[in-house]
Amino acid sequence: QAGRQYESHLERFVTIGQRDSPLTDGLERALQSMCKGQAAMVRVAPEYAYGDEGFEGIGGKVAAGQNVEHRVTLLDFKAAGKGGLKSMSFDEQIAFAKGIKEVGNTLFATRKPTHLRRAICRYEAVDKILAVPDHRADAASTNAAQDTRSSALGNIAACHVSLKNWHLILSPASQVLKMQPHNVKALYRRALAFLELGRVHEAERDVKALIAADPADKSVQVLNQRLNKMLKEIDKESPFKNIFK
C-alpha cells in the first residue's frame, strides 16, 4: 500500500549480481555507486522495483506498478575475489565475467520484464569488466574476452527488443558490430530498432546487409517488406516526387 513500510532490516548481508537477489534492480544499481558509510534515500520506479508482479515482504505487500523507496546505509562492502577485480589475472576476470553473464542468461530466459532489467544490469557489468583489453594476454584469452563481451552486449540489445526500448538497442548492437561486423543478430536488432524509430534510411542500410548475408531468412524478408512499405510512404509524401514530370 502507498506510504506503508513493507520490510525492515537493521543489518543485512547481500551479494550483488545474484539471480535471486532480494534487492530491487534499482537498489542494486544505487549500491554500486555508494561509498562505505554513506546513507541514501533511493527512490525506485516500478519497472526497476517489482514491476507488474508486486512483492510480499515481512511487514506488508507492494502492489504491482508501485514506486518503492529504500532508506539504506552501506555499512561495509567486500569486493569480488580476495582483492577485487584489480587483483585478478585477465583469465580470472574473464571467468568471473562469464559467471555473471550466466546469471544474466538465466534471468533473460524467463522473459519477465523485471528479470530482463536485472539481466541487463548483469550484462552491463560484464561489459565494464572486459571493456579494457589486456595487451599482454595471448590470442586465446583476448578472443575469449571479446566473445564474452560481445555476447553480453548482444544480450543487452536482445533484452531491450523484448522491452521495446528501441532507442536503447542502437548502442549495444553497434558496439557488437564494431567487434564482429558480420554478426547478423546485432545487425537485425539494429535494423529493427531503426525501423521502429522511423530512421528508415539507416534501417535500409542494415537490411541490405542482412539480405546479402542470408536472402532466404524469413525474419529478414518480413523486415524488408516493412522497410519497402515505409519507403513507399516516404516517397508519396515527398514534395519533389513529381518535380521532373
Per-residue tens of pLDDT for the chain, all 245 residues: 445 666 777 677 777 766 567 778 788 878 877 888 888 988 988 888 887 777 776 667 888 888 888 888 988 877 665 556 778 899 999 999 999 999 999 999 999 998 899 899 899 999 999 999 899 999 999 999 999 999 999 999 999 999 999 999 999 999 999 999 999 999 999 999 999 999 999 999 999 999 999 999 999 999 999 999 999 888 776 555 555 45
C-alpha cell at 12: 543485512
pLDDT at 33: 79
d(CA 162, CA 116): 8
pLDDT at 123: 95
First to last CA, the chain: 67
pLDDT at 103: 92
- In terms of Cα–Cα distance, which of 129, 113, 182, 180 is closest to 151? 180
pLDDT at 214: 95
Query: Which letter, b or e, does each residue of 115-154 get, where b requires 16 or more Cβ atoms within 10 Å of its Cβ?
Result: bbbbbbbbbbbbbebbeeeeeebeeebbebbeebbbbbbb
pLDDT at 91: 95
Helices and strands (H, E) in the chain, number of each type: 8, 4
pLDDT at 156: 98
Query: Which letter, b or e, does each residue of 1-27 get, where b requires 16 or more Cβ atoms within 10 Å of its Cβ?
Result: eeeeebeeeeeeeeebbeeebebbbbb
pLDDT at 4: 67
pLDDT at 17: 65
pLDDT at 1: 42
101 burial type by CB count under 10 A (0-12 exposed, 13-18 middle, 19+ buried): buried
Identify the bridge partners of residue 44 per DSSP, sorted by sequence position.
Answer: 68
Q: pTM for the complete prediction? A: 0.78
